[in-house]
């Protein structure tokens, strides 16, 4: 019985549409599965809707939202009221986006269950697309664990000779806009602890610089040891290699007065920035103390001249002994 419910869709002609899958869709589906992985049973379903827009024969799949199921068993159905409300909410914020299909996590297509869900989405879009993401990591695979499917009518013996919908594979390409590339790059820079502070980014940058300098020193040490070995006669002299080393050394402006001047200017600029920072902090503290003293003296003056306080001890407490 289980084998009847699972099948591998064949490649068909499809609708001839060109699908463009954007990175935000992949990130959203992965995040949805990660959040629900502790609550979803093994081989459970994590479903959602695909949002996008169609321009001619090109369909851009740009965003997603999650769907709610009614029931807890495998026969659970899509909550139509929740789907309709969520669609209207997204339509208000993103008027150009339409529901173009739906997604699910899992390893294989389940014809009965998936066609039932596909029919519900078909009430919103007459020709939706089905995205299946394999949540299991396959070693050695370089392709995205994502498959895209459309439906087409076929005559089969199981349907009694009447045409029935079947899933067929569809081709897609990954596309991204400039803003999406920046966002994905930022996500890739997040450290494993999940922190994205400036300190963590600076630490990562400095670590990379340290590794690069260390690698450069190791390579220079190898060249130096090779040249010394040639000089001492331990290895045969390679004049071609010596010419390359000499040419490389001549291109390095090490020890010249120009380099010394530039290094000195950078050092002076760094010291100047440090001095200005210390002076700015000192001025801020000084202004804070002056403002407090002015406020205290003003209050003390009002109390003594206006008759608001005739007790000398209270006056000393207010002024803090400044007078």
Task: Tell me the three state secondary structure of residue 39.
Answer: coil
Parallel, antiparallel, or unpaired: how do β-strands 58-66 and 47-55 relate? antiparallel
pLDDT in tens, the chain (323 residues): 334 445 555 555 566 788 999 988 988 898 888 888 766 555 567 889 999 998 888 999 999 998 888 766 556 678 888 888 888 888 888 888 899 999 998 878 888 888 888 888 888 888 899 999 988 877 777 788 898 998 888 777 666 667 788 888 888 998 887 777 777 776 666 655 555 555 666 677 778 888 888 998 999 999 999 999 999 989 999 988 899 988 888 877 665 677 777 878 888 888 898 898 889 988 988 988 998 888 888 877 776 665 555 555 555 554 555 44
CA nearest neighbour of 77 among 116, 46, 19 = 116
Sign of CA dihedral 204, 207, 211, 213: positive
Judge whether 207 and 50 are in contact, CB under 8 Å. no
Token pair for 30: 């992965």
**How large is the angle between the packed helices 198-231 and 239-250, nearest 10 degrees?**
140
Sign of CA dihedral 104, 109, 110, 111: positive
Is the full-model pTM beyond 0.85? no
């Amino acid at each position: 019985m289980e084998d009847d419910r699972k099948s591998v869709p064949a490649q068909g002609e499809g609708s001839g549409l060109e699908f463009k899958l954007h990175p935000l869709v992949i990130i959203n589906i992965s995040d949805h599965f990660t959040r629900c992985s502790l609550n979803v049973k093994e081989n459970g379903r994590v479903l959602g809707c695909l949002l996008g827009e169609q321009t001619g024969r090109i369909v851009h799949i740009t965003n997603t939202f999650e769907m709610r199921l009614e029931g807890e068993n495998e026969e659970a159905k899509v909550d139509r009221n929740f789907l309709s409300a969520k669609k209207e909410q997204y339509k208000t914020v993103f008027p150009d986006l339409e529901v173009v299909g739906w997604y699910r996590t899992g390893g294989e297509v389940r014809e009965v269950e998936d066609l039932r869900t596909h029919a519900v989405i078909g009430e919103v879009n007459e020709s939706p697309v089905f995205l299946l993401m394999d949540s299991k990591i396959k070693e050695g695979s370089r392709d995205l664990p994502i498959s895209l499917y459309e439906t087409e009518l076929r005559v089969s013996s199981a349907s009694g000779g009447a045409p029935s919908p079947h899933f067929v594979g569809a081709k897609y390409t990954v596309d991204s806009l400039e803003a999406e590339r920046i966002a994905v790059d930022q996500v890739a820079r997040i450290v494993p602890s999940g922190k994205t502070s400036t300190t963590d980014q600076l630490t990562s940058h400095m670590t990379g610089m340290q590794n690069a300098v260390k690698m450069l020193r190791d390579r220079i040490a190898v060249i130096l040891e090779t040249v010394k070995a040639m000089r001492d006669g331990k290895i045969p002299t390679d004049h071609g290699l010596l010419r390359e080393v000499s040419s490389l050394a001549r291109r390095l402006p090490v020890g010249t007065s120009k380099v010394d001047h530039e290094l000195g200017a950078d050092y002076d600029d760094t010291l100047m920035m440090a001095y200005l920072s210390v002076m700015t902090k000192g001025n801020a503290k000084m202004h804070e103390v002056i403002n407090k003293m002015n406020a205290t003296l003003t209050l003390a003056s009002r109390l003594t001249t206006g008759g608001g306080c005739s007790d000398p001890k209270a006056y000393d407490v207010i002024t803090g002994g400044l007078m």
